[in-house]
Amino acid sequence: MNAETIIGKQSIRFREAPHIVSRASIVGKKEGEGPLGKLFDRIEEDPMAGQASWEEAESAFQKQAARLAMEKAGPGVPPVRYLFSGDLLGQLIATSFGVMDLKLPLFGLYGACSTIGEALMLAAMTVQGGYSDAVLALTSSHFGSAEKQFRFPLAYGGQRPLSSTWTVTGSGAFVLAHTGGKTRMTGATPGRVVDYGLKDSMNMGACMAPAACDTICAHLEDFDRKPSDYDYIITGDLGSVGQTLLLELAGKRGVELEGRHLDCGMLIFDPETQDTHAGGSGCACSAVTLAAYILPKLETGEWKRVLFVPTGALLSTVSYNEGQSVPGIAHAVVLEHC
Amino acid sequence: MAQEERMTEENEKKMNEVTDQEKVEYSELVKEATPVHSLGIQMLRAFLTGGLICCAGQGILNCAESLGLEKDAAGTWCSVLLVLVSVLLTGFNVFPLIARWGGAGALVPITGFANSVAAPAIEYQKEGQVFGIGCKIFTIAGPVILYGTVASWLLGLVYWVLKVTGIV
């Protein structure tokens, strides 16, 4: 056992912390009109991205983001050897059809909306372990394909509950390598599946808040840190309902997150003008917010250290119809200015 | 030693498990934290939207009758025209906006039924005429059709029994 690397119950400390050397974010029109609109690399006005279906459009987003991230890494970075990627669609079709042309060895991941956390920590482990000089972490989601798979056809008229979230259309990509860039990943806490028995798939923030709390508390304990050791603890897509619950749950465990917590889902949309209700969601929600908002703040040194905790709700239409609950998962990575 | 280890393991397992009590407490917390639509406003909007659609239907009916159609034929024209308008509005992506504002007021009349058939037809067209539209057009309306038919059988049976026993 390597006591320097294996920390506490479930965490990892990276001795030679891999660097995030480049980042790319491509989003749809609605995200471009949101509060972070100006920060994204590219805004695709056409929700179909010139393709024939929502699924193909999502694949096109992934391909564009991956290419852009590798392009931005520049010639100083060794060529990307492996790719860690995933999405929300059945059998990961957005990923497999999106990255096909990149001709890179692929590890396909499913962590629902927490996928980018999983991809980043596996990429960092691969780099730190010496298995590759540069690795690409990638994910995507699309409002059209997600609605079609999990809820109703887009043209169906219905009312969304106020606790529901709006799936972000977009893709985020990150290249990790030994050196380069101004941010490094110094640690990670992979999350467990946490189930508090909730069955409301239209209130995913509430379903995921216990998982976020579990991972954050485990992380702080493993690293023997306090929330104040971070500029911010930033969850993926809990939304306003999930945030309230997370603060409450963490408070009960003696962890005060008030004032230290941000949520990508609450940053990406303006609920007043964009009719998104509790916030944004989807794999792309945390990924594009990381690429466009969080990493730049770390790169300039405005923030020194953040805990980035993408969250996922683990359900399918089958598990839901068969009466199963909606468990959650959250993966935490420590990102530091360097 | 082995027993001690097992005890701590068991203890740890207990600590990691979410108890029923915690689940109940959490679901109460969730209920408190989750905002809901205001019932009064929703009902008012549904009343206005549904009322407007029904007025339009009555208008068509009166118009058709004044043109000399039988009551049954006029009723059929009324349904057909409302369905047509709803399908067109679905195609132009206007119906979801009406339903979002008017809720059940737009969904309960025949316009909602037409939307629930047209929307999957548009969405699944990309998966082909047979496996797309053919298999999936009734994914939303299917239950209404199935249980509507079953309900009409049951009511037919009740009607028959009442008739045989001479009550009606």
Asked if residue B35 is part of any domain, the answer here is no
B57 and B77 fall within a common domain: yes
B105 and B123 fall within a common domain: yes
> Which one is the CATH code of A183-337: 3.40.50.300, 3.30.420.40, 3.40.47.40, 1.10.240.10?
3.40.47.40
* Helices B95-102 and B71-91: angle between axes, nearest 10 degrees: 100
| Euclidean distance between CA atoms A200 and A227, whole angstroms | 30
Please judge whether B34 and A155 are an interchain contact, meaning their C-beta atoms are less than 8 angstroms apart.
no
Q: Which amino acid is at A321?
A: N
| Euclidean distance between CA atoms B8 and A328, whole angstroms | 27
> Does the pLDDT of residue B84 top 90, yes or no?
yes
| Euclidean distance between CA atoms A315 and A328, whole angstroms | 9
Within an 8 Å CB–CB cutoff, is residue B81 touching chain A? no
* pLDDT band per the 50, 70, 90 thresholds, residue B104: very high
Confidence (pLDDT) at A196: 96
Confidence (pLDDT) at B6: 62
The residue among A142, A276, A274, A279 whose CA lies nearest residue A208 is: A279
Confidence (pLDDT) at B17: 78
CATH topology of A6-177 equal to that of A183-337? yes
Please judge whether A152 and B96 are an interchain contact, meaning their C-beta atoms are less than 8 angstroms apart.
no
Asked if residue B25 is part of any domain, the answer here is no
Residue spans per domain, chain A: 6-177, 183-337
Helix (H) or strand (E) holding B107: helix B104-107
Cα angle, residue A47 at apex, residues A42 and A49 outer, rounded to 5° = 65
| Euclidean distance between CA atoms A216 and A191, whole angstroms | 9
* pLDDT band per the 50, 70, 90 thresholds, residue A175: very high
Within an 8 Å CB–CB cutoff, is residue B29 touching chain A? yes
> Does the pLDDT of residue A336 top 60, yes or no?
yes
Interfacial A residues in 81-120 facing B (CB < 8 Å) = none
Asked if residue B29 is part of any domain, the answer here is no
Confidence (pLDDT) at A292: 98
Contacts of B29 (CB under 8 A, 6+ apart): A245, A248
CB A138 within 8 A of CB A286: no
Asked if residue B144 is part of any domain, the answer here is yes
Helices (H), A200-307: 204-223, 239-252, 264-268, 271-274, 283-289, 295-300
Within an 8 Å CB–CB cutoff, is residue B107 touching chain A? yes
Confidence (pLDDT) at B18: 87
B120 and B48 fall within a common domain: yes
Interface mutation vs chain A, best among B30, B85, B116, most A CBs within 10 Å: B30
Helix (H) or strand (E) holding A96: helix A93-99
> Does the pLDDT of residue A160 top 70, yes or no?
yes
B126 and B164 fall within a common domain: no
B50 and B119 fall within a common domain: yes
Within an 8 Å CB–CB cutoff, is residue B90 touching chain A? yes
Q: What is the mean pLDDT of residues A304-321?
A: 97
> CA dist A1 to A7, A17, A192, A222, A334, Å?
10, 19, 22, 16, 22
Nearest to B34 among A155, A194, A203 (CB): A203
Helix (H) or strand (E) holding A82: strand A82-86
> Does the pLDDT of residue B78 top 90, yes or no?
yes
B92 and B158 fall within a common domain: no
B107 and B61 fall within a common domain: yes
Over residues B34-52, the pLDDT tens digits come to 999 999 999 999 999 999 9
Q: Are strands A280-281 and A261-263 parallel, antiparallel or unpaired?
A: unpaired
Asked if residue B49 is part of any domain, the answer here is yes
3-state secondary structure of A57: helix
Confidence (pLDDT) at A1: 57
CB B110 within 8 A of CB B83: yes
Torsion angles phi and psi, residue A139, rounded to 5: -160, 165
> Does the pLDDT of residue A283 top 90, yes or no?
yes
State the burial class of residue A69 (Cβ atoms within 10 Å of its Cβ: 0-12, 13-18, 19+). buried
B71 and B143 fall within a common domain: no
Q: Which residues of A touch B36 (CB under 8 A)?
A: 161-162
> CA dist A239 to A246, A282, B47, B143, B164, Å?
10, 11, 32, 33, 61
Confidence (pLDDT) at B54: 96
How many domains are contained in chain B? 2
Confidence (pLDDT) at B12: 61
3-state secondary structure of A142: coil
Residue with the two structure tokens 């039988």: B70
Confidence (pLDDT) at B146: 97
Over residues A72-106, the pLDDT tens digits come to 999 999 999 999 999 999 999 999 999 999 999 99
Within an 8 Å CB–CB cutoff, is residue B8 touching chain A? no
B164 and B91 fall within a common domain: no
Please judge whether A152 and B107 are an interchain contact, meaning their C-beta atoms are less than 8 angstroms apart.
no
B147 and B133 fall within a common domain: no
B74 and B85 fall within a common domain: yes
Q: Which residues of B touch A206 (CB under 8 A)?
A: 30, 33-34
| Euclidean distance between CA atoms B44 and B41, whole angstroms | 5
3-state SS record for A23-43:
EEEEEEHHHHCCCCHHHCCEE
> CA dist A296 to A256, A299, A310, B87, Å?
26, 5, 18, 47
Q: What is the pTM of this model?
A: 0.94
Could you say which DSSP state residue A324 is in?
A: -
Residue ranges making up the domain that contains B156: 138-168
Q: What is the mean pLDDT of residues B129-157?
A: 97
CATH fold for the domain made of A6-177: Peroxisomal Thiolase; Chain A, domain 1 (3.40.47)
> CA dist A22 to A174, A299, A328, A332, B95, Å?
6, 11, 29, 20, 43
> Does the pLDDT of residue B1 top 60, yes or no?
no
| Euclidean distance between CA atoms A289 and A124, whole angstroms | 19
Could you say which DSSP state residue A179 is in?
A: S
ipTM attached to this prediction: 0.90
Q: What is the mean pLDDT of residues A231-238?
A: 98
